[in-house]
């Protein structure tokens, strides 16, 4: 059931939840064994289930954005450390060595996070197939 004229202005996710609740309520009217209270409970549960799906999706997307930001940060710092490690006339040998080691660590961290992201996507794809 599409909500043509909502009583209030709703965001898209709220509208979808509302429509899902109304569909559930409408379907429940075909069951004479249900009380009005049971119909309302069913509609509220349908709204909650749909809202939970939107909430979980938003959390997953935020988590993925955070992981990508971490990868970008490590890659940027690895690049800066490599530049420092190659700055022979201005930086002493000890600091250049440490910067080179830091570049390796940053690259390794970025690669590890990327591997974790790939594994998450792979597990999600396998879960969707089953």
What pLDDT, on the 0 to 100 scale, is given for residue 126?
A: 86
Six token digits for residue 25: 């309520």
What pLDDT, on the 0 to 100 scale, is given for residue 13?
A: 87
Place of tokens 């809202």: 51
In degrees and rounded to multiples of 5, residue 90 shows phi and psi of: -100, -25
Six token digits for residue 15: 């509208």
Other C-beta atoms within 10 Å of 47: how many? 20
Confidence (pTM): 0.64
Other C-beta atoms within 10 Å of 59: how many? 10
Could you tell me the residue ranges of all domains in the chain? 12-129
Per-residue pLDDT of the chain (130 residues; tens, 9 = 90+): 555 655 678 888 889 999 999 999 999 999 999 999 999 999 999 999 999 999 999 998 999 999 999 999 999 999 999 999 999 889 999 999 999 999 999 999 999 999 999 998 898 888 766 6
Identify the sign of the CA torsion 77, 82, 84, 85: positive
* Helix (H/G/I), strand (E/B), else coil: 111: helix
What pLDDT, on the 0 to 100 scale, is given for residue 10?
A: 82
């Amino acid at each position: 059931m599409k909500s043509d004229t909502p009583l209030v202005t709703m965001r898209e996710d709220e509208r979808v939840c509302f429509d899902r609740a109304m569909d559930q309520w409408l379907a429940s009217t075909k069951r004479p064994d249900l009380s009005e209270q049971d119909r309302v409970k069913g509609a509220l549960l349908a709204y909650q289930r749909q809202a939970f799906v939107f909430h979980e999706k938003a959390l997953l997307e935020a988590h993925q954005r955070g992981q990508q930001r971490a990868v970008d940060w490590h890659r940027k710092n690895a690049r800066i450390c490599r530049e420092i490690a190659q700055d022979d006339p201005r930086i002493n040998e000890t600091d250049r060595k440490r910067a080179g080691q830091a570049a390796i660590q940053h690259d390794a961290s970025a690669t590890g996070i990327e591997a974790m992201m790939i594994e998450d996507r792979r597990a999600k794809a396998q879960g969707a197939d089953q």
